Amino acid sequence: MDIAIGICLGLGLAASCGFRVFVPLLISNIASLTGVVNIGGGFEWMGSWPAFAIFLTATIVEIGAYYIPVLDNMLDTISVPLATIAGTLLSVTFITDVPPMVQWTLGIIIGGGSAAVIKSGASMARLKSTTFTAGWANWLIATFEHVTSFVMSVLTVLLPIVMGVIALGVLGFFGWRLAKKKNHDSRIKG
């Protein structure tokens, strides 16, 4: 059961990274500092006070930057690889009691993959908003993403299995949207 809960924690927090990179890292740090979750061996640093200061600062900067026109789109460009790394790290942190090869493989596939798919889908929404509203509505999308990442992260820590299932649904939705866009783009080119 510990492995299933770890996978659900990793999946839910990684999915949250698809909306904001640093919010799930901050929430997992706070959850560790308060004793709500246990961080796996070798990753105890993620539950430390210095990590809290770094994650809090990074979260504030990231959230603030998404309200600056043009900078929000530039952030989307670099945030896909950052979300992938953060999603992998969070998954590996909570998937314990398995051999390291399995732990990292699951972390990359479950965490990195889900964060990348969701971040790519969310970036697509911002790009459409920029195209159709000249960026005017981007702050609405940014606010929705901030709130979603925060709520998903907190609920994942409190209800990991439920949020693991919900994260699969969110992942499926964004995967479907990306596949649909790819199909549409290939029909236009072909």
Please return the burial class of 61, using the count of CB atoms within 10 Å of its CB with bins 0-12, 13-18 and 19+.
exposed
Do 27 and 146 contact (CB within 8 A), yes or no? Answer: no
- pLDDT digit string, tens, across residues 97-153: 899 999 999 999 999 999 999 999 888 888 888 888 887 888 999 999 999 999 999
The pLDDT score that the predictor gives to residue 1 is 62
Do 70 and 119 contact (CB within 8 A), yes or no? Answer: no
Average the pLDDT over 86-107 and give the result: 94
Average the pLDDT over 17-45 and give the result: 94
Q: Is 70 exceeded by the pLDDT of residue 91?
A: yes
Instruction: Write down the pTM of the prediction.
Output: 0.91
Concatenated DSSP letters of 103-126: HHHHIIIIIIHHHHHHHHHHHHHH
Do 80 and 15 contact (CB within 8 A), yes or no? Answer: no
**What is the number of other CB atoms lying within 10 angstroms of the CB of residue 18?**
32
- pLDDT digit string, tens, across residues 51-85: 999 999 999 999 999 998 888 878 888 999 999 99
In residues, how long is the chain? 190
- Domain-wise residue ranges, the chain: 2-189
Of the listed ranges 8-12, 90-94, 122-126, the least confidently predicted one is 122-126
CB-based contacts of 73-80 (< 8 A; 24+ apart in sequence): 73/126, 73/127, 73/130, 73/135, 73/138, 76/119, 76/122, 76/123, 76/126, 76/127, 77/123, 79/21, 79/119, 79/123, 80/116, 80/119, 80/120, 80/123
Spatial CA neighbour of 106 closest among 174, 9, 1: 9
Q: Where are the alpha helices (DSSP H) in 34-159?
A: 49-65, 71-94, 100-106, 113-133, 138-158
- Residue 63 identity (one-letter amino acid): I
Q: Is 80 exceeded by the pLDDT of residue 184?
A: no
